[in-house]
Amino acid sequence: MKTVKAIGIKAPNAAILAENVIKNGAKDGLIITVSPGAEEGLEEIAKKYGLKYEVEISGSEIVVRMTKSEMKMEELDVTGETCPGPIILVGGRLGFMAIGDRIKVTSKRCEAIEDIAISTPEMSGKVVDQGIEGEKSYVIIEKAEKKVAVAASVDRDKVIVVQSNGIGNAERAYATFIFSKAALSMGKKVTVFLLMDGVSIAKKAMQQL
Amino acid sequence: MRYKKMVKELNELLGLKGSPIAVKLIKTAREIPESYKKMNEKKRHCEFVQDARLEGSKGYATSKEHLCKGGAGVMGIEHLPESVATGSMYYNLGNFETAEGALETVNAVPKLSEEYYASIYSPLESAEFEPDVIVVVLTPKQALRVSQAYLRKTGGRVSSDYSGIQSLCADTVVAVKERGVPNMTLGCSGSRKYAKIAEEEVIMGIPAKNLAEIVDALKIFKEKWGEL
């Protein structure tokens, strides 16, 4: 879905801009972020194009969603998956979703849903709703734009895993790849640095031992 | 070269000075068309645009070739310098009465959230890539005709926004790439001083997908109105 950041553009220009964006190709809807007060007139635009209108206050910004009412939502049941399986699965799905698309993740284990909800911002997602339905917990996640790191902030896009365990302690060596896979599914660039006995797992044919 | 005919017609209709400029932001070096070389001189984005427009130059610029770090920063080619991101540079230059006003303005400048490797430039008529944005430098009357042409099909109003800083980068490339609609700007101190955008010129960024309709509308205007 088309997303536009229109901070600082006052009403009614934000509405004029939103209508132009919709008319010029964003037929499935638009997520527009505006400054407080600039949302004036946007509801009329949504009505004019038959779009559902939702407003959310996000800090000092107003996020307006103008979406098709019949927007379909993907569902994913992670019941039975063990940590970090649910996060890997959700991260993998989010990686292929377009900004604004939503996914409902369910599980019989509320802890798994809680973990996913906590990890969601790191996976370029946003928790829209979370609760319990019958015997399952659920979280609804919307694919969001990746936050831009400003110069003064810490950019946590890269992960390095230092591996000192090798074939002499294979169970611990295995954990490195679980962490790495979880980080990859969260969109991180992962480097595994092997040292000491860790080097042994990179030697050809050692994985067959 | 699919734009060659359109540019010829646009020039005949409006009498442009120089070429419309094709601008594209790329994520990897693999996306650079074969004959395109790295810019051999460090310059600002607005200067690269003017060079393509007036001298027909082509090439690409990574963060190393971008002299204006603010321009490269909003285009996602590198991180914004802190003095630009916080507005302190503009506050110290005297653009704003308060630091808060400066911060509010820089926060509102369009910025791309994704990272890019380089920006590519070419006169549109000979571009060997599909541009993200077509930048045109126009007189106000030419900008009027382009605005009228853009509105001919579906009507409405044109909304353009700018803040007098980071113009050819943020206003005509980033805003247009992100929103998918045209934007007009009056330039900024840098583009007027270094890129020599003339006093009688304004700048528009146009999504490539809209150019054909704009040219068609201008042809109709010429038929109906005579000279444009």
Give the residue, A90 or A73, on which the prediction is more confident.
A90
* Burial profile B124-142: b = 16 or more Cβ within 10 angstroms, e = fewer: bbebebebbbbbbbbbeeb
| DSSP letters for B131-197 | -SEEEEEE-HHHHHHHHHHHHTTT---------SSSIIIIIIIIHHHHHSS-EEE---HHHHHTS--
pLDDT at B87 over 60: yes
ipTM score of the complex? 0.81
Q: How much is the pLDDT for A159?
A: 86
Helix, strand or coil for residue A129? Answer: strand
How do residues A128-177 score in pLDDT, each as one tens digit? 888 898 889 999 998 887 665 444 445 577 888 888 888 777 777 777 88
CB contact under 8 A, A20 and B159: yes
Q: Spell out the SS3 assignment of A53-79.
A: EEEEEECCEEEEEEEECCCCCEEEECC
Q: Does B105 touch chain A (CB under 8 A)?
A: yes
Given a contact cutoff of 8 angstroms between Cβ atoms, the answer to whether B74 and A144 are in contact is no
Closest CA to A56 of A73, A28, A36: A36
Nearest-CB residue to B161 (from A13, A19, A145): A13
Distance between start and end Cα atoms, chain B: 26
Q: Binning pLDDT at 50, 70 and 90, where does residue B140 land?
A: very high
Q: How much is the pLDDT for A152?
A: 47
Given a contact cutoff of 8 angstroms between Cβ atoms, the answer to whether A58 and A84 are in contact is no
Residue of chain B nearest A32, judged by CA positions: B179
CB contact under 8 A, A150 and B81: no
Q: What is the CATH number of domain A73-143?
A: 3.30.110.40
How do residues A165-208 score in pLDDT, each as one tens digit? 887 777 777 778 888 887 887 778 888 888 888 888 777 665 55
d(CA B79, CA B112): 11
Q: Binning pLDDT at 50, 70 and 90, where does residue A96 land?
A: confident
Percentage of chain B exceeding pLDDT 90: 97
Q: Report the range out of A12-16, A45-49, B167-171 with the highest average pLDDT.
A: B167-171
Question: What average pLDDT does the segment A88-112 reach?
Answer: 86
Copy the structure tokens of residue B160: 């353009």
CB pairs under 8 A between A and B: 68
Which residue blocks in chain A are alpha helix, DSSP H? 13-23, 42-48, 85-96, 110-119, 170-185
Cα of A133 to nearest chain B Cα, Å: 36
How do residues A32-89 score in pLDDT, each as one tens digit? 999 999 999 999 999 999 999 999 898 889 999 999 876 667 889 999 888 888 888 8
Cα of A112 to nearest chain B Cα, Å: 30
Domain A2-68's class? Answer: alpha beta
d(CA A165, CA A178): 14
**Residue listed under structure tokens 């996640």:** A141
Q: What is the mean pLDDT of chain B?
A: 96
Q: How much is the pLDDT for A71?
A: 64
Q: How much is the pLDDT for B218?
A: 98
Which residue blocks in A63-169 are alpha helix, DSSP H? 85-96, 110-119
Q: Give the number of other CB atoms < 10 A from CB of residue A209.
A: 9
d(CA B49, CA B28): 21
**Residue listed under structure tokens 């896979």:** A181
pLDDT at B141 over 60: yes
Q: Number of C-alpha atoms within 13 angstroms, CB side, residue B32? A: 19
